[in-house]
């Protein structure tokens, strides 16, 4: 079972970004069963240990990183696990 997206945000923000967070967004593409967290940070330096920790805990992978003038945009994503209909009827 996947952890909730709020917990994913927590792990990403505290493992990767620390104090230079500018903003973040949660994006879902329901047709494709995908969800993303897009983080904008200042002066970000890649930490492979932190990225591995995030992937193990949240199931979210760093898909894309774009940096310009000291501002980085990091795209984390994962497939959403659908809950079977029978669990809704309990």
Q: By C-alpha distance, which of 34, 37, 29 is closest to 8?
A: 37
Instruction: Name the 3-class secondary structure at 58.
Output: helix
Q: Which residues of 30-64 are buried (b: 16+ CB within 10 A; e: fewer)?
A: eeeeebbbbbbbeebeeeeebbeebeeebbbebee
Instruction: Name the 3-class secondary structure at 50.
Output: helix
C-alpha–C-alpha distance, residues 88 and 90, integer Å? 6
φ/ψ of residue 88, rounded to 5? -75, -25
- Domains of the chain, earliest start first: 5-88 (3.30.1360)
To the question of pTM greater than 0.75 for the whole model, the response is: yes
Q: What is the pLDDT along the chain (90 residues), one digit of tens a residue?
A: 789 999 999 998 888 765 577 789 999 999 999 999 999 988 787 888 989 999 999 999 999 999 999 888 999 999 988 655 555 444
């Amino acid at each position: 079972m996947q952890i909730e997206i709020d917990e994913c945000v927590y792990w990403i923000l505290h493992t990767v970004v620390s104090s230079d967070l500018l903003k973040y967004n949660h994006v879902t593409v329901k047709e494709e069963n995908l969800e993303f967290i897009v983080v904008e940070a200042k002066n970000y330096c890649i930490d492979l240990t932190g990225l591995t920790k995030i992937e193990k805990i949240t199931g979210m992978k760093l898909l894309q990183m774009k940096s310009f003038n000291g501002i980085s945009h990091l795209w984390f994503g994962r497939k959403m696990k659908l809950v079977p209909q029978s669990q809704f009827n309990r």
